[in-house]
A = this chain, B = another copy of it.
Amino acid sequence: MIVVGAGLAGLSAARSLVADGKSVVVLEARDRVAGRNHGGFLSNGVPVELGGQWVGATQDVVLDLIDELGLETFPTYDDGEAITYVDGQRLRYSDETFGLPVEVAVEVGRIWEQIEILASTVDLVQPWASPDAETLDRQTLDGWLTGISDDSIAIRMFRTLVPAIFSAETPELSLLHFLFYVKSGTSLEILAATTGGAQEHRVVGGTHLISERMAAELGERVRLNTVVRDIAQDDDGVVVTFEGGQVSGSHVVVAVPTTLASRFRYSPPLPSARDALTQQMPAGSVIKYHVAYNTPFWREDGLSGFVLGLDSAFGVVLDNSPNDASCGVLVGFIEGAHARTAAEQTADERRAAVIAQLVEYFGPQASEPIEVIEQDWMAEEFTRGCYGGRLGAGVWTQYGRALAAPVGRIHWAGAETSDVWNGYMDGAIRSGRRAAAEIRDSGRADA
């Protein structure tokens, strides 16, 4: 068995296949495992996650795996007041109003509830077969939002929240895809929340350890610096060619982002529906920052560190300090359209803008960080965007069937292919296990 990609999905597939007694090789283009869970460290040794970092409520698969691998979690810091920054005003709150004027908060709540109700109708396994799927998929999320509300601040609220979840803008998502994603992550409430939600816990040492522990188990089965180029299959098996060699097996699990899966050359060529899907599941746009300080000074001001900036490029910030608060770390994101604009600037320009924004949010103490770490996921050749792939208007109903359906001996894994917790670490692990189960169930001979 061959696995392409040593992120959570590929490693989970390999681990399942090994448990089934199969011989496995994992081919990874980079000089490291963990894909979008790359681990970083401040100069003082404190680990900071350069990619996916939170786990939380209802993500039982990743939580169980963390436990199984002997890793531990700790709660994301979430005490004190949060901030909504809108029209130059800093609104502090600790309730469910986002600090907005009551009539706006009520409108946000009304839209939110509509989303939860509509999302509950989606068929996670076959979104294209959901009630009214065609109608939901013809619309963009933005078209739907502006159709049901005239409140400009409420709309801006969702136009900020949505990029915080997708690294993409509301016109870039079909309503059906948005609703699918919400239900896939249990609810919008769970997706958006820290305590009790998807941002509830962090992994001690960093999330990259999940991949590294799995890779350690797999040992020499994992081959780094192995850039796959061709995937050929016939009645006898699969041959995967990489720069410098090739391997053969009975099946291959392709565990790379869907948009990158078309960059291999397939023989025979992929069915057109599968190819077309890869042409239109672009990755999100995000640049992630860790800004470190001697102390988490905002806590003394009664702030949790959580900010939503409705008119800011650096619009989503959270406290990412180590559990012992030995230093203070703010983590934040430039997302969606802002990320595309920021990518045209120099790193120095971006850094200056990020710090200036933090000063607006947290005051002059924010102006003197001890360290800033930037991670631009769009520029990474073997990722090309985070957090994951999205589907615009019309794609789910026309091409959704091709997202995870095996093509002969080729099986597709990756967070984008999961029905539950699509786009998240939990979904990535599920997808790898699902691909392994497909192979197990296919009953074909081992490699």
Contacts and interface: CB of A to CB of B under 8 A. Distances in A.
Nearest to A171: B393
Nearest to A287: B272
Contacts of A265: 227, 229, 263
Contacts of A70: none
A275 B384 contact: yes
A284 to B, nearest CB: 10
Interface string A261-280: 01101000101110110011
Contact of A138 (B138, B171, B394): B171
B272 A384 contact: yes
A220 to B, nearest CB: 26
Interface stretch (A8-16, A318-326, A336-344, A345-353): A336-344
Contact of A263 (B262, B276, B280, B376): B262
A94 interface: no
A312 interface: no
Contact of A272 (B172, B229, B376): B376
- Chain copies in the assembled complex: 2
A273 B344 contact: yes
Contacts of A272: 285, 343, 376, 378-379, 384-385
Contacts of A381: 269
A385 B279 contact: yes
Contact of A394 (B172, B280, B379): B172
A205 to B, nearest CB: 29
Contact of A139 (B137, B143, B343): B143
Contacts of A227: 265
A169 interface: yes
Interface in A218-240: 227, 229
A279 B263 contact: no
A285 B279 CA distance: 12
A133 to B, nearest CB: 13
A259 B275 CA distance: 11
A282 interface: yes
A404 to B, nearest CB: 17
Interface in A45-60: none
Given A172-B393, A392-B393, A340 B276 contact: yes
Interface string A362-390: 00000000000000101101001100000
B276 A282 contact: yes
Contacts of A140: 140, 143, 171, 393
Nearest to A392: B392
A410 interface: no
A283 interface: yes
A210 B56 CA distance: 61
B340 A399 contact: yes
Contacts of A269: 379, 381
Contacts of A212: none
8 contacts: A139-B171, A140-B171, A171-B174, A172-B392, A172-B394, A269-B381, A279-B281, A280-B280
Give me the 10 closest cross-chain CB pairs, A-B, nearest first. Answer: A272-B378, A279-B282, A171-B393, A269-B381, A280-B282, A143-B143, A138-B171, A171-B394, A392-B392, A259-B279
